[in-house]
Amino acid sequence: MGLTHTSTGAGAAEGALVLRRSGPDQRVVALAGNPNVGKSTIFNYLTGLRQHTGNWPGKTVANAQGRCTHRGRGYVLVDLPGTYSLMAHSAEEEAARDFLCFGGAEEGGGRRRADAAVVVCDAACLERSLNLVLQTLELMPRTVVCVNLMDEAAARGLSVDLEGLSRLLGVPVVGTSAGRGEGLEALMDAVEGVIQGPAPVPCAVTYPPPVEAAAAQLAPILADRLGDRIPARWAALRLLDEDPSLLAALTAASDWNPRTDGVVQETLLRIRMDLERAGVDRLALRDAVAARLVGEAEEIAGAVLARRNPDSGGRDRRLDRILTSRATGIPVMLLLLAGVLWLTIAGANVPSDLLASGLFWVQDRLTGLFTYLNAPDWLHGALVLGVYRVLAWVVSVMLPPMAIFFPLFTLLEDFGYLPRVAFVLDHAFQKARACGKQALTMCMGFGCNAAGVVGCRIIDSPRERMIAILTNNFVPCNGRFPTLIAIITMFFVGTAGGPGRSLLSALLLTGVIVLGVVLTFWISRLLSATALKGTPSAFTLELPPYRRPRVGQVVVRSVLDRTLFVLGRAAAVAAPAGLVIWIFANVQVGGLSLLDHCTGFLDPFARLLGLDGVILMAFLLGFPANEIVFPIIIMAYLSTGTLTEFSSLEDLHRLLAGHGWTWLTAVCTMLFSLLHWPCSTTCLTVGRETGSFKWTLAAFALPTAVGMAACLLVATLARLAGLA
């Protein structure tokens, strides 16, 4: 649910990072590391930026950069996506490896490699982190190893001998607890140290003799061609492994193509034959290299880790038993969802009313001001009754639920619950022949479907990623919650407050979301059987340790970053939409307003779906942002009705009922809100992520068709049964 300009804005899908240095003496430092070890926390702390953080692997899906100053010197930090390895087999791993190998393009042309790399490790899971460290050291001698989460490791009874680790690795090692900002000054000192001083001579992993012999034969030939761009031994090992993505990247980044280089190919052929004679085929070579790295990491970790508490994960295992077991996994998940929604609805009621009264009080004052200034009626109408009133509606309806929902959700995210959701739901995705990580992208969709679509990059299989992208919109984003909540409250629960009623609202909303999730499974299965035929691919899902959420920080960050970001985006769309709707309602053509013409045109079709012309037009006008759909409906009714003074949901209910809303209209509007085209931001994001007009169209048409079918079915059945 990373809602930032980089995740949903124009920069979301730019594959290549363009380095922006403010001066030639600024250092470029790459931050690498396993997923979920706190790279982005370190990055945010040092740069003052707000890359999305949370306790689940895969939050950072693209390279991000930021600047920092340390002891008067400027640095550009590049936050690489989390990777387990540099032997790329996913998009993130390729992005990380390519940046370490070839650097990034610079503004004004040219490429620049990083001056140094920082590999961030998880102190509590050092052994696996070291695998990536060893691989990075083969590629980048100027590396600092940052052992992060020292505080968490200490709490688990683990201590790391940092000096010993530095001796064994041959590069500086710094211990940090990034959540508390500890050790980061020392980290930057060490970074400057490896850049200024002579290049460290890191420890080299010794592979089995046949592999070493082969690398030794190939390396000198490559050294001639690569110069000092990439270490020849590393390149030799990768060529022996025949990593096709590296070959392509190598050709793209330099003027040298190893595949058309006769000498290299000849040597490779000879080496392969030697290796085969020694009984080492390509697969065995790959296994031998990987196994040696794991073995070396195990030895080093064994030497520097002290007091390995045998029951260090006991608390996590017990929590897992409650949160994921057969008896309690799904009930607890539904309870948590309903609980979050209940708190959102119950908590938002009063502030929503207060905001509405306050903002409409301001509207009256504005009207007074316009009258006092003798402003023309049309100006008052366009600015106050158009622009201001829609803005006021968007803010009063949207802000309170968002300001409660986002922090609550972020707390669950910080705690480490989201991967457990993926774990619990995976079986259903497996049956739908999709990837279990799709659940994570759905969770992101709760915040913003555009962010959810970008998040689909965590799914490696292109087929399964496409399924996740096409179905992300079936999860209602935050912009649709307020509409759903308002309709549920007005038509199914009653507007008089009370804890019981808000609980009922929460349960109904949970039901709507569960419907969206069930439809996601069905549509995924349908896609797997038709346009995206295939069998599920293998995948691994990491379940990180539970962390105590940093409550204060979560609340502040989620309100400032997410809530205000989303609200700002909605307001930017709402203001012009308010103007348009006012003009539509007030410009007369042939005795009828433009609005009446439009809604009249849409009305017959909309009635078939259980809606009316105004509702359908509001959804059409709400294409730029779902947040404005409901305010537009209200505006449109207001412009044709006589009721102008109201501030509560009760008045609103009367307004809607006065325009012919029945329980069926309410149900169909909710269904259509859950199931219709993605907003324009999401469509653009799908376009960028898939690079295909056809698939973008599918992402648009699929939920729309499902929604229309569902509304038609419900409306027809209800009418046939004489219920409405």
Partner 1 sequence: MSIQQTLAALQVGQSARVSQVEAGPAMRRRLFDLGLIPGTQVTCTARSPAGDPAAYLIRGAVVALRGRDAGEIRVSLLPEPGGTA
How many chain residues bind partner 1 (CB under 8 A)? 48
- CA separation (Å) from 605 to 126, 353, 675, 678, 711? 62, 35, 17, 21, 11
Closest CA to 100 of 83, 117, 82: 117
- Residue positions counted in the chain: 724
- 205 scored as a contact of partner 1 (CB under 8 A): no
String of DSSP letters for 426-444: HHHHHHTT--TTHHHHHHH
- 259 scored as a contact of partner 1 (CB under 8 A): no
Closest CA to 271 of 246, 296, 242: 242
- 538 scored as a contact of partner 1 (CB under 8 A): yes
Among 206, 325, 371, 553, binds partner 1 (CB under 8 A): 325
Among 403, 541, 656, 684, binds partner 1 (CB under 8 A): 541
CB 148 within 8 A of CB 120: yes
Least CB distance from residue 125 to partner 1, whole Å?
5
> Following CA atoms 363, 369, 374, 375 in sequence, which dihedral angle do they give, to the nearest 10 degrees?
-50
Binding mask 551-590 for partner 1 (x = CB under 8 A): ----------------------------------------
Vertex 489: Cα angle to 483 and 493 (nearest 5): 150
Rank residues 366 and 543 by Cβ distance to partner 1 and give the closer one: 543
DSSP state of 77: E
Rank residues 66 and 175 by Cβ distance to partner 1 and give the closer one: 175
Q: Which of residues 634-693 bind partner 1 (CB under 8 A)?
A: none
Q: Which range of residues in 95-103, 257-265, 538-546, 683-691 is near partner 1 by CB under 8 A? A: 538-546
- 330 scored as a contact of partner 1 (CB under 8 A): yes
Q: Which range of residues in 279-287, 463-471, 678-686, 692-700 is near partner 1 by CB under 8 A? A: 279-287
Among 256, 370, 492, 539, binds partner 1 (CB under 8 A): 539
| Gyration radius from the chain CA atoms | 29
CB 20 within 8 A of CB 107: yes
Neighbours of 266 (CB within 10 A): 11
Binding mask 421-450 for partner 1 (x = CB under 8 A): -xxx-xxx-x-----x--------------
Least CB distance from residue 420 to partner 1, whole Å?
9
Among 19, 29, 30, 87, binds partner 1 (CB under 8 A): 87
- 294 scored as a contact of partner 1 (CB under 8 A): yes
From CA 243, how far away is CA 237, in angstroms rounded? 10
- 189 scored as a contact of partner 1 (CB under 8 A): no
Tokens describing residue 285: 């070579």
From CA 333, how far away is CA 323, in angstroms rounded? 7
Rank residues 93 and 192 by Cβ distance to partner 1 and give the closer one: 93
- 126 scored as a contact of partner 1 (CB under 8 A): yes
Among 55, 63, 131, 528, binds partner 1 (CB under 8 A): 131
The 3-class SS string of 128-180 reads HHHHHHHHHHHHCCCEEEEEECHHHHHHCCCEECHHHHHHHHCCCEEECEHHH
Tokens describing residue 574: 């709402």
- Phi (first) and psi of residue 49, to 5 degrees: -85, 180
CB 206 within 8 A of CB 193: no
Least CB distance from residue 443 to partner 1, whole Å?
16
Rank residues 24 and 331 by Cβ distance to partner 1 and give the closer one: 331
Tokens describing residue 243: 């990593």
- 467 scored as a contact of partner 1 (CB under 8 A): no
Among 43, 75, 84, 481, binds partner 1 (CB under 8 A): 84
Among 71, 307, 317, 694, binds partner 1 (CB under 8 A): 317
Find residue 614's DSSP bridge partners.
Answer: none
Q: Which residues contact 452 (CB under 8 A, 6 or more apart)?
A: 1, 441, 442, 443, 444, 445, 446, 472, 475, 477
Q: Which range of residues in 48-56, 503-511, 543-551, 600-608 is near partner 1 by CB under 8 A? A: 543-551
Among 141, 258, 400, 536, binds partner 1 (CB under 8 A): 536
* 3-class DSSP assignment, residue 398: helix
Among 151, 320, 561, 651, binds partner 1 (CB under 8 A): 320
Among 23, 283, 590, 720, binds partner 1 (CB under 8 A): 283
The site for partner 1 (CB under 8 A) is made up of 84-85, 87, 89, 124-128, 131, 283, 286-287, 290-291, 294-295, 297-298, 313, 316-317, 320-321, 324-326, 329-330, 419, 422-424, 426-428, 430, 436, 536-545
